[in-house]
Amino acid sequence: MNIGCQSVINIKRPEQGTADLRNAGINRVFLSIYVRFPQQESGEKAEKAIKKYSSVTIKERYETVVKKCIDKGIHITFIKAPIIPRTLDIYSVLPILQTAITQCLELCRMAKCGFLLIELPIQFKGNYREVQQTVYDYCLAMAKKAWECGVTLLLKNQIRDIGGHLVRGFCAEASDAVKWVDSLNNKLGYNAFGFCVDMGICNLCGNDIQAYINTLGSRIKVVILRDNDGRNDISLLPFTYADSGTDWLGVIRGLRDINFDGELVVDFSSTYSSFSPLIRPTLFKLAKEIGDYFQWQIEIENNLKKHQKFVLFGAGNMCRNYMKCYGEKYPPLFTCDNNPKLWGTAFEGLEVKNPEILRELPKDCCVVICNIYYREIEVQLREMGIENIGYFNDEYMPSFYFDRLDNE
C-alpha cells in the first residue's frame, strides 16, 4: 500500500509547496486539474470555449508543477480530471471536457503516473437513459486514448444536488459501480477502468462503508480519505470533525477484508485553506502521520505475518483482544508485564514473564507492544537494548469483545 496526499501546491510557484511536502516526508501526491467551464453556451460561443481550453492552456498551467515534483522526487500517483459543475447540461460542455481529459492524459504521460480520475457528467435532466448512453460512449472513447498513454481511468462515487440537498449520485451504490466498471472493461476486452472510493462522499451518502468496499473488492485502486460534517462537500483532515459520523471503523475493516494494496491518499484541502500560510506546513506532517496510522491499522495482520517468532508485552485487555482475534492464527511465544504480581501466572493461555527475560531473546524475535502506553514501553525496551519492536492496537478490531478486565 502507498500513502500520499493532495498536492496543495501553487501551480505558478511550486517551489515552496513541493519543499514543504518533502520536509514532511511526503513523496506521493495526487494533482487536481481545474477548468472554468462556461455557462450554458452553444454554437460559436461553445467553439470559442473549446479552443480556450486547448492543449496549450492546460499544459502551460500544470507542466511546471509536474516537472518540479519530478525534480523533488515526489511521485504523482494520479491526476484528477476537471469536474463539470452539476448545474450544467452535459451536451453543451462535453466537448470541452473531452479536450481537457485528452490533455490530462498527456500530463499523466509526462508525470509517469498510471491513473486518471474522472467524474462522469451524468445529470438527472431529460432522458436519463440517453444521458447514460452518451456518457458510456464517452467513457469508451476516453479509454482508448488512455490506453495509448498507459493510463487506467478511475471512476468514483458521486453525489447529486436536488434542491440544495446532496443525495446519492453516480456509483454511490456499490452494485452500480461494479456494473459500470465491469461493463466497460468487458466491452473493451481489457481492464481499462478501475475505481476510486471517496470516503467523504460515502459519509454524505450514508453508505455502509465496509459493505461498499467489500462489494467493489479488487476494482478499488485508490481510496481518498477525507472528513466532512455529513452535509457539505468539504475536505477535512480525518478525525478533525468530531460530529462527522464518518465510519472510520468500517473504512479500516473493509480495506483489511479486501487486502487493499493500492493508493491511500489524504485530502485535506478545506482544512489547509483555513490555516495561516505560516503554519500550513505543519498540516503536511499531520496528514503524513494520519496516512501512516491508517496504513498501520489496515495492514496490522500483514505486519504480524512478517514475524516468525515474537512475544507480547502486556497482560491486559489489549492482550486479551489480540489472543481472541489473532492468537490461534499467530501465536506468540509468551507475554510479559511490568506488574510483578502477574509473573508466573497464565493469561489467555500465555505464560506471563518478567520483562528482564526479553534481554535473552534472539535478534530475530520481535517484541510486540500490546499495551496502550506504547511510547513509555518503547523507551523501556530500547534502554534494554531491544531494537526489534512491533506494535499492536485494538482500536479497530475485526470484532468486538466486551469482557474487559476491571483493573485496566
Read off the CATH number of the domain in which 341 is found.
3.40.50.720
Q: Are strands 346-347 and 350-353 parallel, antiparallel or unpaired?
A: antiparallel
Beta strand residue intervals within 207-287, DSSP E: 220-225, 263-266
Strand (E) or helix (H) holding 86: none
Same domain, 172 and 249: yes
How many domains in the chain?
2
Residues 6+ apart with CB under 8 A from 49: 37, 38, 41, 96
Same domain, 51 and 178: yes
Please list the pLDDT of the chain residue by residue as tens digits (408 residues). 999 998 888 888 899 999 999 999 999 999 998 876 655 555 555 556 555 555 457 777 888 999 999 999 999 999 999 877 666 666 666 777 788 888 899 999 999 999 999 988 776 555 667 778 888 998 999 999 999 999 999 999 999 888 778 889 899 999 999 999 999 999 999 999 999 999 999 999 999 999 999 999 999 999 999 999 999 999 999 999 988 889 999 999 999 999 999 999 999 999 999 999 999 999 999 999 999 999 999 998 888 888 889 999 999 989 999 998 899 999 999 999 999 999 999 999 999 999 999 999 998 999 999 998 999 999 999 999 999 999 998 777 766 555 555 544
pLDDT number for residue 408: 44
> What does residue 389 show for φ and ψ, rounded to 5 degrees?
-120, 135
In a domain, 402, yes or no: no
Q: Are strands 28-32 and 365-369 parallel, antiparallel or unpaired?
A: unpaired
> Which residue in 328, 322, 319, 387 sits closest to 358, CA to CA?
387
Same domain, 144 and 208: yes
Same domain, 253 and 327: no
In a domain, 405, yes or no: no
Containing structural domain, residue 353: 307-391
Same domain, 178 and 267: yes
> Which residue in 305, 300, 324, 322 sits closest to 313, CA to CA?
322
Same domain, 52 and 28: yes
Q: Apex CA 111: angle with CA 218 and CA 227, to 5°?
A: 55
pLDDT number for residue 87: 60
In a domain, 9, yes or no: yes
Quote the CA–CA distance of 43 and 371 in Å, as a whole number: 68
pLDDT number for residue 38: 57
Contact between 381 and 365 under an 8 Å Cβ cutoff? The reply is no
Quote the CA–CA distance of 154 and 222 in Å, as a whole number: 8
Same domain, 49 and 183: yes
Same domain, 274 and 320: no
Q: Are strands 115-117 and 152-156 parallel, antiparallel or unpaired?
A: parallel
Contact between 108 and 149 under an 8 Å Cβ cutoff? The reply is yes
Number of neighbouring beta carbons within 10 Å of residue 306: 10
Contact between 370 and 335 under an 8 Å Cβ cutoff? The reply is yes
AA letter at 310 = F
Same domain, 252 and 374: no
> What does residue 265 show for φ and ψ, rounded to 5 degrees?
-125, 145
